[in-house]
Structure 1
């Protein structure tokens, strides 16, 4: 079934589920709203929605930390650690993944608001057919960069859920960790890598956001890299550049590949990299396994803390 047909079926299912309640909704007074900036322009959003579907992975931890339990989420994309309550809650509908979204399950959950965007950005039209949908996902298109977009997202969620204090705490922790990492960063060189399927490649497309504003320099700056590790960068080319540091995204760990070799073992076992400065000096930072799945404000806070500690110990 095509996306369009699935979306139409989902809307029809929602109409059946809501029954006569839908016919009386127009007679009820409109609730209070707040206008927020989204990636698609300003949007008026009802305050304190009771039934929220959260699809955007970059918003997951913030929604959780604001005390919101969603009625629907892409559970396969959400790590177990930190989200045990969501994974064991039968009341949370599993809406599949961005590759095969279950629009029918989403409609059956009857959300008042869908937090879409990021991996689900291509499904915006279908989601809008089910319930009001906002795209406030972190974005590299933000005028001040990825981290600023995370802060804007956090502020917007704080307004919607009237959790401004929680939003301020999340942003403050992110700013503090980033400042500490920036202060500790050496005036040196780094390889921003991704390990996927046992292969080492240029991971600058995802990892590059971490060192924005730092004194440490990507040896392949300007080479975008590839999230899935197929840009064609060879280990010999990395060795020739001989960076002092390596910051590595272990994609296999992030996707839950249980039989995959850990990223650190892949790098340390590569003969071409044996004499590089980052291997011989032990200056390899492997990001937490859940970074690839989440990439939200809290993920970056933990990552900046990790970098600050590693840089300070060198």
Structure 2
């Protein structure tokens, strides 16, 4: 596409948004005044939201939405939010957006930002893999609200997940639903903490491409935060551990020597390969067929808990609620 055509599209989108803004400002009144929403939708009102990108004034619920953050796709779908455009290729296969004609702007490696502009969104829900494009999207859509509620580094992870859902509930007029999801999450955390014996050592792993890799406490992708949220005792710590999406290259012999009582597993291929229709070896087969791990307590006692299948592309609050309940189920059963 030529630069001239791209600028024309961007200008048209901005002009349309400006016209809507001027029409809305034709009369005076308080900034939180309630207005009539389109038929079939909740009553709309202007709210103030603060995200990682600053403060936003949003008419809630917004009518034209672009969705880019993996942590929020299933949340939006469960709330029946219509999405004009989004990173459909990154969505789990059971979401309605995969089938309802939602415009696919591509993945975070080569996104088509032109399609985001063409959607003329009121709100862009950005974050996680798309954070790197926030500034560019804001420049292209000066009259849209670009919201990023990704968990922030250095903040309590559980609190950040709850903050994301709570603020999304405000944006989409689903506050009661958001409150229930937060309550369910807190209940799952409480169950898992009550079921866990701190004297038992826990180890996290990520399986990817047929390999078993180490997921460090706190830092390890998806699995790592569970150590902090639940107060788990690490079976192994490695200097220079990372947030690598495939885990850290630590030998299975080192994992065996750590002899964890419990193993928590992120099966990356279960999300990526399965979502692309590719064959892969499931994590449970990899762990149970590894000769080096056969004498590990967690393997011998089958004290292995797997994160939900699509965790790698859906790391939101409800995924962790399901995971923590699975941990509680397993640990309660082991105590019985």
Q: List per-residue Cα deviations over 1:288-314 (Å, max 9, x = no partner).
A: 111111111111111111111011111
Which residue matches 1:13?
9
Which residue matches 2:35?
none
TM-score, normalised to structure 1's length?
A: 0.89
SS class of match (1:246): strand
* Alpha-carbon distance in structure 2 between the residues aligned to 1:299 and 1:170: 11
Structure 2 residue 289 is the aligned partner of structure 1 residue 269: yes
Which residue matches 1:289?
309
Structure 2 residue 253 is the aligned partner of structure 1 residue 236: yes
TM-score, normalised to structure 2's length?
A: 0.84
Distance apart, 1:141 and its partner CA: 3.2
Kept in 1: contact 2:151–2:160 (CA 8 A): yes
Structure 2 residue 60 is the aligned partner of structure 1 residue 43: no
Which residues of structure 1 form unaligned runs of 5+?
Answer: none
- Does the C-alpha gap of structure 1 residues 10 and 256 become closer, same or farther in structure 2, counting only changes over 3 Å? farther
* Alpha-carbon distance in structure 1 between the residues aligned to 2:106 and 2:229: 37
* Alpha-carbon distance in structure 2 between the residues aligned to 1:115 and 1:35: 15
Q: List per-residue Cα deviations over 1:163-200 (Å, max 9, x = no partner).
A: 21111111111111111111112221111000011111
Which residue matches 1:220?
236
Distance apart, 1:40 and its partner CA: 2.9
RMSD over aligned CA atoms reads: 2.3
* 33-42 or 96-105, which deviates more: 33-42
Question: Within 5 Å, which residues of 2 pair with 1:141-180?
Answer: 141-142=154-155, 145-180=156-191
Distance apart, 1:105 and its partner CA: 1.6
SS class of match (2:264): strand
Kept in 1: contact 2:205–2:247 (CA 8 A): no
Q: Which has the higher contact order (CA 8 A, sep 6+)?
A: 1
* 183-192 or 251-260, which deviates more: 251-260
Kept in 1: contact 2:189–2:230 (CA 8 A): no
Q: List per-residue Cα deviations over 1:109-168 (Å, max 9, x = no partner).
A: 2211100011100000121123320111233432xx111111111111111122211111
Kept in 1: contact 2:108–2:129 (CA 8 A): yes
Kept in 2: contact 1:116–1:124 (CA 8 A): yes
Which residue matches 1:75?
88
